[in-house]
Structure 1
Amino acid sequence: MSETVELFEVGPRDGLQNEATLISAKDKIALVDLLSTAGFARIEVASFVSPKWVPQMATSADVLAGIKRKSGVSYAALTPNARGFEGAVQARADEVAIFGSASEGFSKANINATIAESLERFVPVVEAAKAIGIPVRGYISCTINCPYDGPTPPEASARVAQALHEMGCYELSLGDTTGHAYPNEITAMLRAVKSVVPNAKLAGHYHDTSGRALANIEASLTQGVRVFDTSIAGLGGCPYAPGASGNVATEYVAARLAELGYQTGLDLEVLMKAAQMARGLRGKGTI
């Protein structure tokens, strides 16, 4: 029996949020609906952040209202604070995610708060989610390198991971936000995090700026990680990590995992169609 690896599709949110040209809710819905037929268990489709800072996500409620929800698929939304959480609940997100950083510089640039302040902000969100039974996932940015502070010590990533785990996040997504990590750096970070958080609670989130995301996934597999965030067609980037490219392409990861003998449950033909659609959205400019 082959081992199973889950790919968490984040393209409709993490991928599209960095596109400068506004994409219509209708087009986003079409992409999510196609991805829903590919075999994913989880798809991140929305972000309830201020449209002033991320205008591409201003139609998040419309997207969640318009998609054809497929049984067995959890549709996720990013929620930075209590107001964002309320918006996600009203839009019927199946789960939410909070996002922190392992580096102080990125935390201040991304959410205008220190790491300690950001963790304090997350507590009421997690408590409110627990009260109504909505799962909360935690993102940790800059677990390897920070565009402002330089290299991130593995123990810094472990501290934030432990805090989010103890807070109640069911899974932690560990991000190589700049996309410059090497496999040995990923391995060192994972070993530090695994010393304080159960391995089954971890996921990799690797941007592909330097073309090493697949190698970093393979290094993570040797450490027992079996969940990875991927973005269809490699869409994405980060407005607060200049020069960072998108998350590693879903279709490439699925194909490589198949070569390595892992099962993903994904339909590669559907993924290729979705990748073509996603690439077509770039620069379309319809609102």
Structure 2
Amino acid sequence: MYSEPEPEIAGRMRGMHIFAAVALDATPIGSREAWGWRGRTLGRPVATSSGDGWLRVVSAPAHRAGGRLWTGPQEAERSMPSAVPRPRLRGRRTWTEGEYGYLAELYDKATHPTVTSHEPVLQAAPDLDDAWWDGLSTALDAIAAVPSDRVAVRQAYLDRAMPKYLGIAVDTAAPAWSTAHGDLHWANLTRPRLAILDWEGWGAAPAGYDAALLYAYSLLVPETAARIRERLGYLLDSRSGRFAELVVITELLQSTTRGDNLELEGALRTRLGELAG
């Protein structure tokens, strides 16, 4: 849910979305477009013979197409229990054209809007009732219990990146691991009825990772950050949860070196100081 990319990428992706719609017997409706990071994905509402849906096209250089990120939604469809609310995957296609490989995924249409429409970072407190928070807690517990050999965060990355980006001496061995969604931010959550979107990167991560990521993306809105600690404190207020926060801070501070999440840097460093203290 990012801004539209540069014209060359936008034109190529729109053309591939039309191609995918024909291949999956879908017709784009309306003018809404949902762009992924730097134009890597494009999603649009579509009409099909079985009802309205959502068609998402993913692109990557041909030599990097495939692998964990491309199989994530398909494997989530097979593995995630009903306690995890999400649009169901109806069909998929893969193909290569020129220098790029593509994946098209046809989903049920989400019936409610995402909490934020573009960036993952929260800028204002959303109106979320107790049922929404209860559903999120239940979903995170259910995700954590799913057995899988998928990996969302690698120990080798922690060993390399945590000392570099945290700038402090830290034990990089995760106290515990569990299954995580892996990209739990506000543009991947719907309201007022909860659904969790974007299942590309799910897999094993330090326990508490999803709660820690959502908390980090909420640091600019203290009211919501406090609400997360109130409702998900059982995941965060432990040795594992504090370690997960350090992992998330590592990743997001690294992202600022690429020009992303710059508005979060000050809050992340403040929180790092609290954890390190």
Q: Tell me which of the two structures has the higher relative contact order, counting C-alpha pairs closer than 8 angstroms and 6 or more residues apart.
A: 1
Provide the TM-score with structure 2 as the length reference: 0.32
Provide the TM-score with structure 1 as the length reference: 0.31
Bigger CA radius of gyration: 2
